[in-house]
Structure 1
């Protein structure tokens, strides 16, 4: 395209001689014009790179070939606008005009430039604060969502099915049903299992309240079994004694991403003809070791339902991947699958009618259901995130290894364990306070928060909550769970942390323990 005076406008894309960081050499690459300085015959430009895997995507804007106007850019493949690579060059270094950016990309550049120019205490405060977990969103995620927004389907469209199939394939299950939250997933699974008034489910008290609440939605009663003190997972040795004639299901919670002993739980359930529903909201991407029919050991993913009837996932922003809000149920049981499809959409179906259909428009409500549908927008984000799950977990494992090394043999707390039969997804780094520090948990928590660490506690035993106390649950029924709660603290662990962050964090934690005044109470 011929270069003329009026083509040096903001958003124009050129092949240009762009200097390297040292400014001692340069190379021909695409650039986007930011503005023209006519007095000096200069233009300010920003670099564009097609080597997307090697660039720092935190300082980049993705230009996706999926965009319907991508052809107007003149670029040949997916590229990144490198917002941290800017230069002022002579117009004579612009050789050929490729095309131009759409307005949305120009707006993103403006936002990035403003962000880079921001100064003051607000940015410093953000940089100092490390949340216990958070989402990691990049330009591919944003492009995936934008693609869905520009499509004909915002909900009940093809992205839902695509996400479900990818999720089922990843975990090794036959079916997946995507819903609006992890709580909705629990509710749907309990419905499919036929849990109803008068039934009981066995679960752990060290969990978010939804695990038990969803059973109450169905009219059932949660029965809490104590936990193993090392993992915080349900103590399989105590399950059998909690089973009654009313027991319908066992619901193990994979606390912190560490799978429960599913072979043992499956054996107990099989013996007592019970359904097993894994609350795997922490454990997407986790694995456990099993023996095949020939006695050989192999690894299977949580969600394969190898030793369960259904498995529940959550896609809240602090989980392994996020859809904003969302959840899913995986199963190998086609009957459960069909029931949950109806349950998430008001109990309505457009196939397998009970009555004679009136015409092509016909649908039937065959059971009580809810609007638990996931949108295509959320599913599009889930698809993009799922492609990065394994890399997310690798980052978490690396951060965990740094923590374990730096915190080794410390006098303040015990480190989380990982049994030899599991590969945890490492949703949490849950430490347990030692000795005299247990009684100072509130002060420690406060001190760590003051130092910018978003520590958290997982969890208050479910039956401690006023609602459960009013319905007949008393303290003391699960002593190990109560001690676990008194000792437990979650230290930040997520795939947005760098090794530098992790090392800085370990120093802050140790310092907080060293300066906090601890009082040893005398036992009278």
Structure 2
């Protein structure tokens, strides 16, 4: 079996450091927030080239609190893409605001910047681009549009740790950047985790209060807040893993280059890398009109794959109340029917990639 992601192999490669970091937290009994989380916040902010980082319990919480800190609420509209994990849209709905979708670019699969401006109304308060699969959205046009219309830009960087747009780290370009540390992410916790990064001290201060019941100091509740705090153990684990992220990213990029080479003459479409992009390949996504048959054939050969994502959010039953229908975003719908994620993690071997690639070439 060639796994889609091999978390066990990753753990074994850093086991001694991880075990020592976890034991240190257990001995300190700082199980919620604490010194390890505070240290991780400093290190992650520095890594993202931002002034502040606030650690949270999930990437979804990061999006939710970023929107709240930006003043998004009932009656407002937030422009985003329908081709994303559902949490992007759920976080907008949590605030009482309305998601407004814009179709994706057919090459990058990120939000089509040429369609954003026509979606802006008097109710629009923010743009929420998604750096999908590890590739940044085209941020310069997004920032220019936002500046002209007085909108906040919140980056969904949940799949894009270490990715860069024109030599700028994602998360540092907009007003707030949001990250997930779900275990399978390029930088993953051993449980749930998330963070926001920003250069705005007021946003950072507000999000710190909101994550901890709106407290500025214990039992002094300034805001109506939430229980979105990061566990001390996750902070300690992420500090260890952050030191390896550059090396793991280079491994992913090397694996992607090998896939590109081996699949060049196949009938699948390999990922495009945009000229502005330092792609970090959270997933390596190919396209095939025979996607489902291809996935089944690979499964029969012991090769795990994934589909990110088979149904765009505007066609999900849970969001039918937004009033969209099939055909509204044709590019997102077409791509959703064709994408297939091949095994991708730093721990893959060249031999495994060759086996996967040969199986793909034989199956389509």
Q: Normalized against structure 1, the TM-score is what?
A: 0.67
Give the ranges of 4+ consecutive aligned residues of structure 1 lying more than 3 Å apart after TM superposition.
132-135
Report the CA distance between 1:451 and its aligned residue. Answer: 1.8
* Per-residue Cα deviation, 1:306-360 (whole angstroms, up to 9, x for no partner): x31000111111111111210000001111111100110111221xxxxxxxxxx
Flag structure 1 segments of 5+ consecutive residues without an equivalent: 1-127, 290-298, 351-361, 514-524
Which of 455, 463, 468 lines up with 2:319 in the alignment?
468
Which of 293, 300, 303 lines up with 2:168 in the alignment?
300
Q: Equivalent residue for 1:401? A: 257
Q: 1: CA distance between counterparts of 2:359 and 2:7?
A: 20
Q: 1: CA distance between counterparts of 2:7 and 2:339?
A: 20
Please state if 1:333 is matched with 2:333: no
Q: Equivalent residue for 1:501? A: 352
> How many correspondences in the alignment?
358
Report the CA distance between 1:413 and its aligned residue. Answer: 1.1
* Per-residue Cα deviation, 1:136-189 (whole angstroms, up to 9, x for no partner): 222122222222222231222101110000000011100001000111111110
Report the CA distance between 1:504 and its aligned residue. Answer: 1.7
Flag structure 2 segments of 5+ consecutive residues without an equivalent: none
Q: 2: CA distance between counterparts of 1:319 and 1:349?
A: 31
Tell me, what secondary structure is at the counterpart of 1:223?
Answer: strand
Tell me, what secondary structure is at the counterpart of 2:183?
Answer: coil
Report the CA distance between 1:490 and its aligned residue. Answer: 0.8
Please state if 1:427 is matched with 2:304: no
Q: Are the aligned partners of 1:252 and 1:260 in contact in 2 as well (CA < 8 Å)?
A: yes
* Per-residue Cα deviation, 1:280-315 (whole angstroms, up to 9, x for no partner): 0011111121xxxxxxxxx22112x2x310001111
Q: Equivalent residue for 1:365? A: 221
Q: Normalized against structure 2, the TM-score is what?
A: 0.95
Q: Equivalent residue for 1:111? A: none
Q: Are the aligned partners of 1:402 and 1:502 in contact in 2 as well (CA < 8 Å)?
A: yes
Q: Are the aligned partners of 1:275 and 1:309 in contact in 2 as well (CA < 8 Å)?
A: yes
Q: 1: CA distance between counterparts of 2:300 and 2:184?
A: 21
* Per-residue Cα deviation, 1:385-438 (whole angstroms, up to 9, x for no partner): 00000000011011111101110121x2111011121111111111111xxxx1
Tell me, what secondary structure is at the counterpart of 1:130?
Answer: coil
Q: Equivalent residue for 2:340? A: 489
How large is the RMSD of aligned CA atoms in angstroms?
A: 1.3
Tell me, what secondary structure is at the counterpart of 1:453?
Answer: coil
Q: 2: CA distance between counterparts of 1:320 and 1:157?
A: 24
Q: Are the aligned partners of 2:92 and 2:99 in contact in 1 as well (CA < 8 Å)?
A: yes
Q: Which has the higher helix share?
A: 2
